[in-house]
């Protein structure tokens, strides 16, 4: 006789997913605090106004595209189309690396045009930009590392597991950093 699984057991969230959601909630609170501090500090004197580099528009397009490719990779994994899954997860990892590179180019552009983010000669507005976007890039790098691990595991011939939990977690986190960047980009561009 087969054991029956109650509907409550099936609806439970995986413990790792629950931990991820708690972590993402904490990250949201951190960025809410930073952007609130930005608004308060902006109203004080010696605030330097500058425009966001155009390259940040390109990085926004790249991270939006990567959100689409990770969605397609998860869909392919669930449909057991492993070749498509490998292609899309690899593209997503490469787009994540490209996003980080574009961010670095954006910071370099700012520095070349007299907006020093940190140290002597910096301005609070530039330092806020450096801290806020720098923390986001650190979170994206964590996601890129996870993407690279998942992508490399997809090419492994030793172990074949078809549990979607780790991919679903990376996918949720990647969509999260995507939405977080959109919020930060809109905030920094128009606030």
Which residues lie closer than 8 Å to 187 by C-beta, 6 or more apart?
Answer: 35, 38
Q: Looking at the predicted structure, is the pLDDT value of residue 5 above 70?
A: no
The C-alpha atoms of residue 178 and residue 60 are separated, in whole angstroms, by 8
Which residues lie closer than 8 Å to 73 by C-beta, 6 or more apart?
Answer: 84, 85, 88, 89, 92, 167, 171
- Domain total of the chain: 1
CATH code at position 136: 1.20.120.80
Nearest of 88, 172, 180, 167 to residue 138 by alpha carbon? 180
Nearest of 165, 140, 145, 184 to residue 52 by alpha carbon? 184
Query: What would the mean pLDDT of 52-77 be, rounded to a whole number?
Result: 95
Please indicate, yes or no, if residue 118 is contained in any of the structural domains: yes
Which residues lie closer than 8 Å to 162 by C-beta, 6 or more apart?
Answer: 77, 80
Please indicate, yes or no, if residue 12 is contained in any of the structural domains: no
Please indicate, yes or no, if residue 185 is contained in any of the structural domains: yes
Q: How confident is the model at residue 9 (pLDDT cuts 50, 70, 90)?
A: low
pLDDT tens digits, 61-72: 999 999 999 999
The C-alpha atoms of residue 135 and residue 101 are separated, in whole angstroms, by 15
Q: pTM for this one?
A: 0.85
Q: What residue numbers bound the domain in which 85 lies?
A: 51-190
Please indicate, yes or no, if residue 87 is contained in any of the structural domains: yes
Please indicate, yes or no, if residue 126 is contained in any of the structural domains: yes
For tokens 């960025």, name the residue. 31
Q: How confident is the model at residue 164 (pLDDT cuts 50, 70, 90)?
A: confident
The C-alpha atoms of residue 45 and residue 2 are separated, in whole angstroms, by 72
For tokens 């949201």, name the residue. 28
Element holding 64 (H helix, E strand): helix 55-78
pLDDT tens digits, 19-35: 989 999 999 999 999 99
The C-alpha atoms of residue 144 and residue 63 are separated, in whole angstroms, by 11
Please indicate, yes or no, if residue 110 is contained in any of the structural domains: yes
* Maximum Cα interatomic distance, the chain, rounded to a whole number of Å: 75
Cα atoms in the Cβ-side hemisphere of radius 13 Å centred on 17: 12
Please indicate, yes or no, if residue 170 is contained in any of the structural domains: yes
Q: What percent of the chain has pLDDT over 90?
A: 53
Nearest of 136, 117, 114 to residue 34 by alpha carbon? 136
Please indicate, yes or no, if residue 35 is contained in any of the structural domains: no
The C-alpha atoms of residue 24 and residue 19 are separated, in whole angstroms, by 9
């Amino acid at each position: 006789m087969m054991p029956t699984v109650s509907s409550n057991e099936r609806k439970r969230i995986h413990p790792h997913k629950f931990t991820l959601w708690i972590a993402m909630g904490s990250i949201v609170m951190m960025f809410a605090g930073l952007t609130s501090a930005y608004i308060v500090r902006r109203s004080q004197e010696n605030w330097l106004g500058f425009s966001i580099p155009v390259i940040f528009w390109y990085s926004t397009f790249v991270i939006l595209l990567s959100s689409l490719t990770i969605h397609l990779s998860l869909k392919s994994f669930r449909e057991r189309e492993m070749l498509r899954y490998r292609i899309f997860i690899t593209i997503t990892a490469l787009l994540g690396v490209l996003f980080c590179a574009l961010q670095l180019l954006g910071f370099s552009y700012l520095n070349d045009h007299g907006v020093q983010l940190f140290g002597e000669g910096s301005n609070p507005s530039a330092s806020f930009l450096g801290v806020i976007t720098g923390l986001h890039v650190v979170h994206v790098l964590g996601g890129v590392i996870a993407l690279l691990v998942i992508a490399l595991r997809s090419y492994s011939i030793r172990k074949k597991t078809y549990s979607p939990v780790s991919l679903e977690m990376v996918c949720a986190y990647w969509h999260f950093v995507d939405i977080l960047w959109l919020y930060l980009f809109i905030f920094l561009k128009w606030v």
